[in-house]
């Protein structure tokens, strides 16, 4: 009887594995079909990697790396990962903390003496947690594109924002600002006595064998591995605005591959480079002074997907978009790197992961809209209430983008879903544009938790 029960147990386990394998294969086929539609073979594309535990269960490339030469995207290509850089900067800081080189409670001025004292003290931890109150520096206007290719030292970058007043008391609010991570890069250089890029190579990339990852492109990289970035202009894909790595620096200047980012995910999970204490600190939701969670750790957003905890970060940068999503309890990792500006990589990563956990979210189908019609929505809008809040709406790469004059760097792009209707799943926001009697846009009804009415003022 014991033998029979043992046989039944193994038979049941074997059948479960077969069923689960079939379900995963079915989902991967659905994912492949979706991605082929999202990144057609004649347009800029992407590389997608999915892992379960230590095993890569899906890796495939889509679309073109160079439209003119018809060169396809390949899975080993090196992409600009933009703001995914911040997790590496955060890890580098935590490595120095572990080595006793600095403390999270240290102030900026202990390492950067040319950064002036502010109304409220700002610590290393405030910078990591994006709660410093320091305003965004990376807000390039149309007449400032020359700055994108100009070489900058860390001191020159910091000079763009060092004299600006704080937007709020440090620790009281979360506000995403690239300035925070530029300062962290300068602190790393001061403490380590080498450049930020050199420190990353010595402390992080080389120990993990991340041979195709660096602060911007290196001379030893194979140029055939580097795709061209694209934006949409007048209905056509055109090479994106030229940019140099020095202006992005420690807030967004790293380039990498999906394979190297998978190695990175495993190193963070297995505490290969950082202790469990330091690693968990990066993944812990920071608490503001009012007791509310910020939904940000150190270099990672802390969210949930269909009730499952997620640790994630994406990036968007002049022709390149990226996203890395990790579900720690399920140990499921989804990484997407694209050479298409404003590709919806974060939303796609969420969709893929939700499929694999058997609880798919809704994802909007890409809806085409003529660029001439998008111009109808451009303008400034004022909240129809006592508070004098403003939203500016612009068009970037044939995508409608909401910008906030008082919060630069917190732009939200929205997709069309119907007649005068737009939505962003990422920001959980819907827009219904209102037209007057002669068909002109006169305002917006915006829903983000609650309903708000905005009036067009120009």
For residue 20, the model assigns a pLDDT of: 46
- Asked if 228 and 65 touch (Cβ cutoff 8 Å), the reply is yes
CATH fold, domain 371-456, is Lipocalin (2.40.128)
- Kindly tell me the burial class for residue 45, based on how many C-beta atoms sit within 10 Å of its own C-beta (0-12, 13-18, 19 or more): buried
Residues of 275-290 as b/e, b for ≥16 C-beta within 10 angstroms?
eeebbebbbbbbeeee
Compute the average pLDDT of residues 53-80.
98
pLDDT at 371 over 70: no
Could you identify the residue written with the tokens 């809008």?
381
- Mean pLDDT for 100-125 is 97
Euclidean distance between CA atoms 388 and 89, whole angstroms: 37
Report pLDDT for 448: 81
Chain centre distance of CA 163: 27
Mean per-residue pLDDT, 414-424: 85
pLDDT at 9 over 80: no
Tokens of 317: 């940068």
* pTM score of the predicted model: 0.86
pLDDT above 50 for 318: yes
**Strand ranges, E, within 299-410:** 301-305, 308-317, 320-327, 332-338, 379-383, 390-396, 399-403
**pLDDT at site 450:** 80
Q: Give the H or E element holding residue 453.
A: strand 450-456
Does 406 score more than 90 pLDDT?
no
Residue 342 to residue 12: CA distance in whole angstroms: 46
In terms of Cβ atoms closer than 10 Å to its own Cβ (0-12, 13-18, 19+), residue 216 is middle
Selection from 145, 176, 419, 415 nearest residue 315 by Cα:
176
Q: Report DSSP letters for 1-52, one per residue.
A: -HHHHHHHHHHHHHHHHHHHHHHHHHHHHHHHHHHHHHS-TTSB-EEEEEEE
What are the b/e assignments for 97-109, b being 16+ CB within 10 Å? beeeebebeebbe
pLDDT band at 426 (very low <50, low <70, confident <90, very high): low
**pLDDT for the residue 329:** 96
Q: Is the alpha carbon torsion for 198, 186, 324, 136 positive or negative?
A: negative
What is the predicted pLDDT for the residue at 15? 45
Q: What is the pLDDT of residue 10?
A: 53
- Helix, strand or coil, per DSSP, at residue 246: helix
In this model, does residue 110 exceed pLDDT 90? yes
Is residue 302 scored above 80 in pLDDT?
A: yes
Helix (H) or strand (E) holding 124: helix 124-129
DSSP state of 378: -
Sheet holding 55-62: strands in order across?
Answer: 55-62, 46-52, 332-338, 320-327, 308-317, 301-305
Instruction: State the alpha helices, DSSP H only, in 39-119.
Output: 85-98
**CA 85 → CA 89, 131, 216, 377, 390, distances in Å?**
7, 18, 11, 33, 30
Over residues 88-95, mean pLDDT: 98
Side by side, the strands of the sheet bearing 214-215 are 79-80, 254-256, 214-215
Is residue 413's pLDDT more than 90?
Answer: no
pLDDT tens-digit map of 134-146: 999 876 666 667 7
- With CA atoms as reference, report the closest residue to 118 among 175, 161, 173: 161
Residues 176-185 have a mean pLDDT of 97
Find the Cα–Cα–Cα–Cα dihedral 410, 424, 363, 28, rounded to 10°.
-10
**Average pLDDT for residues 215-223, to the nearest whole number?**
96
User: What does the pLDDT read at residue 18?
Assistant: 41
Task: Classify domain 79-356 by CATH number.
Answer: 3.40.710.10
The pLDDT of residue 58? 98
Q: Is 243 exposed, middle or buried (0-12, 13-18, 19+ CB in 10 A)?
A: buried
List the chain domain ranges. Answer: 79-356, 371-456
Residue 387's pLDDT band, with cuts at 50, 70 and 90, is low
- Of 9-23, 111-125, 200-214, 349-363, least confident by mean pLDDT is 9-23
Confidence band of 8 (pLDDT split at 50, 70, 90) = low
Contact 133, 168 (CB under 8 A): yes
If you average pLDDT over residues 206-219, what whole number do you get?
A: 97
Q: Tens of pLDDT along 305-314?
A: 999 999 999 9
Place of tokens 């994630």: 312
Burial of 450 (0-12, 13-18, 19+ CB in 10 A): exposed
């Amino acid at each position: 009887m014991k033998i029979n029960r043992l046989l039944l147990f193994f038979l049941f386990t074997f059948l479960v594995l077969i069923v689960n394998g079939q379900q995963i294969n079915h989902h991967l086929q659905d994912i492949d079909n979706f991605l082929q539609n999202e990144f057609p073979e004649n347009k800029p594309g992407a590389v997608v990697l999915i892992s379960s535990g230590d095993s890569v269960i899906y890796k495939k490339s889509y679309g073109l790396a160079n439209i003119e030469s018809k060169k396809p995207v390949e899975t080993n290509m090196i992409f600009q990962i933009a703001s995914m850089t911040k997790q590496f900067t955060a890890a580098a800081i935590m490595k120095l903390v572990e080595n006793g080189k600095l403390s999270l409670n240290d102030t900026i001025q202990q390492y950067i003496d040319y950064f002036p004292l502010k109304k409220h003290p700002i610590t290393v931890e405030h910078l990591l947690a994006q709660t410093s109150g320091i305003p965004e520096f990376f807000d390039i206007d149309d007449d400032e594109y020359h700055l994108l290719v100009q070489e900058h030292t860390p001191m020159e970058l910091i000079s763009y924002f060092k004299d600006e007043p704080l937007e709020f008391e440090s620790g009281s609010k979360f506000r995403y600002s690239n300035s925070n991570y530029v300062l962290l890069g300068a602190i790393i250089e001061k403490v380590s006595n080498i450049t930020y890029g050199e420190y990353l190579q010595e402390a992080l990339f080389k120990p993990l064998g991340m041979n195709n990852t660096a602060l911007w492109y290196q001379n030893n990289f194979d140029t055939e591995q580097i795709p061209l970035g694209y934006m949409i202009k007048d209905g056509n894909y055109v090479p994106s605005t030229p940019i140099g790595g020095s202006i992005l620096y420690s807030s967004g200047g790293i380039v990498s591959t999906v394979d190297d980012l998978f190695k990175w995910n495993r190193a963070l999970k297995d505490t290969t480079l950082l202790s469990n204490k330091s690693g968990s600190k990066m993944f812990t939701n920071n608490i503001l002074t009012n007791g509310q969670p910020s939904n940000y750790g150190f270099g990672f957003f802390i969210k949930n997907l269909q009730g499952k905890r997620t640790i994630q970060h994406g990036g968007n940068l002049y022709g390149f978009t990226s996203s890395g999503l990790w579900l720690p309890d399920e140990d499921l990792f989804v990484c997407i790197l694209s050479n298409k500006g404003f590709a919806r990589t974060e939303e796609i990563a969420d969709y893929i992961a939700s499929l694999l956990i058997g609880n798919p979210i809704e994802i909007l189908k890409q809806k085409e809209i003529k660029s001439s019609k998008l111009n109808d929505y451009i303008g400034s809008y004022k909240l129809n209430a006592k508070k004098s809040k403003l939203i500016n709406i612009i068009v970037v790469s044939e995508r409608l983008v909401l910008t906030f004059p008082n919060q630069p760097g917190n732009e939200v792009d929205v997709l069309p879903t119907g007649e005068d209707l737009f939505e962003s799943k990422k920001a959980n926001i819907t827009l219904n544009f209102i037209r007057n009697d002669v068909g002109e846009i006169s305002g917006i009804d915006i829903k983000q938790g609650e309903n708000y009415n905005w009036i067009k003022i120009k």
